[in-house]
Structure 1
């Protein structure tokens, strides 16, 4: 989907654009996460998606993974309205959300390193909120790093992870007849 969204005649119609969304082009709330500023941006995010998906592969099936990406995309696309951003393209907010969700599920399943990954993500997000995005990344993608999308994605991913954590805990309690 990201490759199709990168087609030069389609990309301008799919990127997150505040004014266009306010004029009724609401699909951009979802599709802005699929577009990228250039091919280097797309490649960087595609490689990150592969690595993150590999790290947390034990927690995903196709249905859960697809649902998480859709929830993150819509949440990020809607959440960006709370910022002063006018335009957004990229999958990095979704990547941060998947990472948060995966780290919380590592913690839930007592996978070694889960806490370290989650704390590392928190430190990265705080760093970006204080100091901004990486200058080298900005040079590579030809745009400002959307640290707001990283924060929103991480928050939605963490919230989704906690909801899944507690709902799966209740399912376990019911199977073992533990009181609620």
Structure 2
């Protein structure tokens, strides 16, 4: 797991630098013009160092708590990033960066998998994620976090990522993968 975390963290840091960042940001128009890689890579770029630090801390904490294998972590990062980036195409968002949608999905897949396989206390984690995402959808994004990252918090990505994680957990448990 740790080599995958270090790799992902270094990739996120690398994606902060120009001219690389200009080529990896999730950009609706660029994707529509054939730059499909942005669907995934936009999740690994960030608005500023505070945004990067916050998301990487979340990634490391989620991995510390759930202890996924290296292969599972990398597979879930890719699948949930792809799901989130694709889902954002159905929104009004024109530009997006950040790992938070994918983090919501990672937390969702790990917590729901535990809950569905008998760890009853993990239903509290699932309920907490559902409550957090529902709150954001009804109340709106956090202005404080928005000020810290110098951008509007993309709560659409949080919702899409969480749904992707829940779907992945359900498929995983039903198919025993």
Question: Match for 2:146 among 118, 125, 138?
Answer: 138
Question: Match for 2:106 among 87, 92, 98?
Answer: 98
Distance in 2, matches of 1:21 and 1:164, equals 29
Pairing 1:51–2:51 present:
no
Q: Which residue of 2 aligns with 1:174?
A: none
Q: Which residue of 2 aligns with 1:85?
A: 93
Q: Which residue of 2 aligns with 1:40?
A: 50
CA offset digits 1:129-160 (Å, max 9, x no partner): 11111111100000000000000000000000
Distance in 1, matches of 2:24 and 2:91, equals 19
Pairing 1:153–2:143 present:
no
Classify the secondary structure of the residue corresponding to 2:43: coil
TM-score (norm 1): 0.89
TM-score (norm 2): 0.91
Distance in 1, matches of 2:117 and 2:64, equals 16
Distance in 2, matches of 1:112 and 1:9, equals 47
2:117·2:173 contact (CA, 8 Å) conserved in 1?
A: no
CA offset digits 1:89-113 (Å, max 9, x no partner): 0000000000000111221343352
Q: Which structure 1 residue ranges, 5 or more long, are not aligned? A: 172-180
Q: Which residue of 2 aligns with 1:28?
A: 38
Moved over 4 A (4+): none
CA RMSD after TM alignment = 1.2
Distance in 1, matches of 2:66 and 2:116, equals 12
- The structure with more radius of gyration: 1
Bigger drift between 3-12 and 119-128 goes to: 3-12
Q: Which structure 2 residue ranges, 5 or more long, are not aligned? A: 1-10
Q: Which residue of 2 aligns with 1:175?
A: none
Distance in 2, matches of 1:138 and 1:151, equals 17
Distance in 1, matches of 2:95 and 2:142, equals 19
